[in-house]
A = this chain, B = another copy of it.
């Protein structure tokens, strides 16, 4: 159990992304929200970005809406956009917000449309029509800062908007990286980015939980990419991590959701990404 005292030294703005598998597990999510409430009582400010989990896919199935995936990205037609707006922006976001409020955290749920925080455009791709999938154009750091200064802890769902009235489905890893980049570039000091998920970090052997790679540099990531020695779904996360570091984000970690406080205290756990 981490104590408040051990976290007092933190004076950073931390962007934390929590993966869909953690959202899907009541035990893991409850523990994670408890840890966030300890972090909240430190001097550190943070923003949480949550993934979607399986609920949207399950709901789509129940409604007879077919969920298509290309390269790990969901194809979002109009029916699927309604589903993800409901599930990510409604059900999941409010589960996290209400859960945090119950622990004394002044959480406030957002999509990119709320406060115009993240604008995007429909993905342009030469061969695939991704539908209502949004690639990020702008992150409105002034609005995020206004919410933080007013004492709110922002909880972002993986949704953006096109500024013409349409919501867009945007990958949560990418949102977290874009937020961290934009905040670092806008002059925020000590921006950290932490990807929390159900594994202990980037694993040498995806079947061995004890094979966490403690640090990964850009060159090593390039080697992993070429050799194919890393889980395919991990590569976009690693690319996001490198983008963040190149934009001035101080540190990027990939870790288990149970280890968020340890990582933020500088303990050796998870995978630290370096340039």
Contact = CB atoms under 8 A, between A and B. Distances in A.
Interface stretch (A161-169, A197-205, A223-231): A161-169
Contact of A85 (B90, B150, B152): B90
A115 B152 contact: yes
A225 B108 CA distance: 40
B97 A90 contact: no
A254 to B, nearest CB: 28
- Which label, helix, strand, loop or mixed, suits the secondary structure of the A interface? helix
A4 interface: no
Given A94-B111, A94-B159, A159-B94, A116 B87 contact: no
A167 B116 contact: no
Which one of A62, A98, A102, A166 has the greatest number of beta carbons of chain B within 10 Å?
A98
A166 B97 CA distance: 10
Copies of this chain, complex-wide, total 2
Interface string A66-98: 000000000000000010011111110110011
Contact of A89 (B82, B94, B164): B94
B101 A116 contact: yes
A146 interface: yes
Interface in A139-161: 143, 146-147, 149-152, 159, 161
A86 B90 contact: yes
Contacts of A91: 82, 85-86, 89-90
Q: 7 tightest A-B contacts by CB? A: A90-B90, A86-B86, A102-B165, A89-B90, A86-B90, A146-B150, A98-B113
11 contacts: A85-B90, A89-B91, A94-B111, A94-B113, A94-B159, A99-B165, A102-B163, A102-B165, A106-B115, A107-B114, A115-B152
